């Protein structure tokens, strides 16, 4: 998981005051993420919505309290949340969540869905079609009825430990990590970006069968997807060249393409994404 800065003592108080519903181990706190969403909407927080109670979040809380003529203690207690208006209302679990809901609890839901492998776009506290789609996919994954309503059973499943891959993976290439798996800006990065020059060979991370080889819309560009055992799929995006065909069997380390910048890419790099039965999973713990 992405590294997190050490929280200062004052933000321990923030976490206690908010009585956050616990996030899955390894992720930031969903309640802190909801607070960051509300502060961002007020133009006071410009950092990543990462659920980490760091100095930037404390500074934004204090600035908001001064603006709202509240005691400036850096603690997002009941009065501060009330002053956030719609963004501070509704504790997670206090009501079922469905399309057209808005509030603190929706922002928490979006954050938890993303960490469990089903991101739904920007964290904004608005329950729209993308959040509904991500929720249904998670419910199917978790063996729940995919009704698109986040009630107690769904929330319980969202507080389970984060997924780990059941197989080991080899690095598809050696290069610095440009962007890890996890929150990025106001959204969530569902893979790992490996920086390498255009044309660098990209290798299969494990043995499997190619199920996609070619251009794919949605920002992927030239993409290779390989199905492995135990429901794992690896995806290699933004390639400049595809070197395999659909149906082909490949071994670990076998070349599948070359680094490029096709699709939605700022400069050459490999977007390496891994899914377990449809859920995006951080590949770093499984990489040898």
3-state SS, residue 14: helix
Q: Tens of pLDDT along 212-257?
A: 999 999 999 999 999 999 999 999 999 999 999 999 999 999 999 9
∠ CA 280-285-288, rounded to 5°: 120
User: Which residues fall within 8 angstroms of residue 207, CB to CB, at 6 or more apart?
Assistant: 228, 249, 250, 251, 252
On whether both 151 and 184 belong to a single domain, the answer is no
Q: What is the predicted pLDDT for the residue at 226?
A: 98
Q: What is the predicted pLDDT for the residue at 288?
A: 82
Bridge partners for 250 per DSSP: 208
Residue 169 inside a domain? The answer is: no
- For the residues of 239-262, what is the DSSP string, one character each? EEEE---TT-EE-TT-EEEEEB--
pLDDT for 125 beyond 80: yes
For all residues of the chain together, what is the average pLDDT? 92
On whether both 193 and 89 belong to a single domain, the answer is no
Q: What is the predicted pLDDT for the residue at 26?
A: 61
86 phi, psi to nearest 5 deg: -60, -30
Q: What is the predicted pLDDT for the residue at 16?
A: 36
Higher pLDDT, 17 or 198: 198
Helices (H), the chain: 9-18, 30-41, 55-67, 78-83, 104-115, 129-141, 152-158
Q: What is the predicted pLDDT for the residue at 27?
A: 80
Report how many domains make up the chain. Answer: 2
Q: What is the predicted pLDDT for the residue at 102?
A: 98
On whether both 59 and 185 belong to a single domain, the answer is no
Q: Tens of pLDDT along 161-204?
A: 999 999 999 999 999 999 999 999 999 999 999 999 999 999 99
On whether both 119 and 182 belong to a single domain, the answer is no
Size of the chain in residues: 288
CATH at residue 197: 2.70.70.10
Residue 171 inside a domain? The answer is: no
84 phi, psi to nearest 5 deg: -70, -10
pLDDT for 50 beyond 50: yes
- In this prediction, residue 24 has a pLDDT band, given cuts at 50, 70 and 90, of low
On whether both 41 and 111 belong to a single domain, the answer is yes
Q: Tens of pLDDT along 68-118?
A: 999 999 999 999 999 999 999 999 999 999 999 999 999 999 999 999 999
CATH at residue 69: 1.10.101.10
- In this prediction, residue 266 has a pLDDT band, given cuts at 50, 70 and 90, of very high
Q: Which domain holds residue 58?
A: 9-158
**Nearest CA-CA partner of 114 in 38, 11, 22, 186:** 186
Specify the pTM.
Answer: 0.91
Give the whole-angstrom CA distance, residue 171 versus residue 273: 12
Q: Tens of pLDDT along 139-169?
A: 999 999 999 999 999 999 999 999 999 999 9
Provide mean pLDDT across the span 132-139. 98
pLDDT for 11 beyond 80: no
Residue 17 inside a domain? The answer is: yes
């Amino acid at each position: 998981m992405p590294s997190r800065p050490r929280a200062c003592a004052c933000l321990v108080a923030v976490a206690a005051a908010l009585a956050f519903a616990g996030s899955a181990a390894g992720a930031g706190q969903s309640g802190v993420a909801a607070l960051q969403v509300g502060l961002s909407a007020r133009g006071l927080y410009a950092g990543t919505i990462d659920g980490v109670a760091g100095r930037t979040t404390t500074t934004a809380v204090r600035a908001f309290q001064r603006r709202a003529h509240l005691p400036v203690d850096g603690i997002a207690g009941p009065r501060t949340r009330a002053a956030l208006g719609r963004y501070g209302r509704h504790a997670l679990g206090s009501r079922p969540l469905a399309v057209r809901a808005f509030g603190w609890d929706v922002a928490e839901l979006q954050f938890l869905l993303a960490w469990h492998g089903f991101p739904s776009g920007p964290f904004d506290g608005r329950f729209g079609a993308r959040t509904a789609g991500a929720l249904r996919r998670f419910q199917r994954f978790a063996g729940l009825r995919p009704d698109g309503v986040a009630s107690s059973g769904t929330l319980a499943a969202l507080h389970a430990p984060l997924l780990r891959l059941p197989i080991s993976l080899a690095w598809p290439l050696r290069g610095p990590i440009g962007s890890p798996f996890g929150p990025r800006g106001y959204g969530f990065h569902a893979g790992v970006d490996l920086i390498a020059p255009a044309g660098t060979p990209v290798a299969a991370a494990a043995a499997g069968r190619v199920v996609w080889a070619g251009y794919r819309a949605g920002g992927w560009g030239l993409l290779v997807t390989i199905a492995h055992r135990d429901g794992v799929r690896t995806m290699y995006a933004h390639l400049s060249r595809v070197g395999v065909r659909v149906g082909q069997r490949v071994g670990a380390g076998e070349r599948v393409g070359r680094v490029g910048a096709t699709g939605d890419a700022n400069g050459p790099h490999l977007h390496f994404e891994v899914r377990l039965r449809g859920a995006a999973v951080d590949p770093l713990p499984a990489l040898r």
